[in-house]
Amino acid sequence: MRLQEDYLYWQLIHFFVLKNGYRLVQISPDEREIWLENFRGPFPVIRVKRIDMDWGGWPEEDLETVGMRGENLRRRWLEKDLTVANIYVAGGLPADYEHLPDRADFDGGRIHIRTFRLDGQSGLRELAKLMGYFPTRDQFFIRELTDPEEIIGLRNRVFRLFLEEKERERKILESGKPFFTNLLIAVQILAFLFLELMGGSTDPSVLVRFGAKYNPLILEGEWWRFFTPIFLHIGFFHLIMNTFALYYLGNDVERIFGRFRFLVIYFFAGFTGSLLSFIANDSISAGASGAIFGCFGALLYFSLSDRRAFFSRIGVNILMLIGINLLIGFTAENIDNAGHIGGLIGGFLAAGIVGFPRQRSGGKRVLYLMATAVLVWSGLYIGYHR
């Protein structure tokens, strides 16, 4: 094992992580292969592999492995295509590696692999080509190894940065311990039982009497009907579906944004859901669906604000669930899809206004607040004058 190449290997990883914001995706058990990602970097994915002259793998097979791994990441992150920087660090490379192409495409051209061979003969030239992609290249220095302990020091700094990033992501997803989610579930169950006692939750007259969205009464001044439908449900199946959805989505949103921010998101999304339903249709409607879609909207905002934390801890299932629910709303009968869309938009905007705990982005929040004020005023004007 060549210590100088080991040193270069960890120097590179340290440079990508510390100076360019890359994070760990995967590391082999022997720590001789590391995958990194940064959506804002010159290469969204970097794979660094430490090899020796006697490494027995076939170059073509290794390149195919990189292509397959890159395709898995592309699908996971819902990217149209993906570029991978494939870096070999060695004192010398097997002869077969001379025939490896510098550029290769896989999966119908959706995976682009750019290979760099940092070997003893052409390493400096290849390293210069690699560094040309990074605006921070002046901060990378090739140093001769004087003490083997320096390798351990570099390695430990890299892993400390990885752990700090993991801790940051953990804190984002645990900003608040869920409380109001469970309280809201209890309230909507009690409200359902009350409707059943008063004549039945599927009786239109009972729904209107106790606060369902009903346009004629809103036009007469009963503005609170933009909010009271959040607590009412039409039938037991409607209650069960929304209760499970609120339990799973509400807990995530309350953990990420904190308790009181969650309340703002939930009730504002419920309001915007009722508002768009008020504009789009004249039917009686009720349910927490708009507010629950607001939780979808808040998670969508989270995915755009901190993509790496979203995909590493929550994943694409939430995005797929949004699409499925909207599709059901457009194709099934007796579903107030306008309320769903209004809630989704409202939750996204409310998340932009309240932001994340311990986050300083006042200017951005003001822009979201101004856009929200314009949309709400326009919606109310259209609803009351159409």
Tokens found for residue 154? 């570099």
What are the backbone angles phi and psi of residue 337, rounded to the nearest 5°?
-70, -25
Find the catalytic residue in 201, 274, 289, 312: 289
Buried b / exposed e over 223-233, threshold 16 CB at 10 Å, is: eebbbbbbbbb
Catalytic residue check, 312: no
Tokens found for residue 289? 């669906």
How many separate helices (H) and strands (E) can be counted in the chain?
16, 6
Question: DSSP state, 11?
Answer: H
| Closest listed residue to residue 380, CA positions, set 229, 208, 218, 217 | 218
Q: How far is CA 144 from the centre of its chain?
A: 41
Find the catalytic residue in 340, 361, 378, 385: 340
Q: Which residue has the tokens 């590179």?
A: 12
Catalytic residue check, 289: yes
What one-letter code names the amino acid at 316?
A: V
- Report the C-alpha gap between 196 and 190 in whole angstroms: 10
Q: Could you give the residue numbers annotated as active site?
A: 289, 340
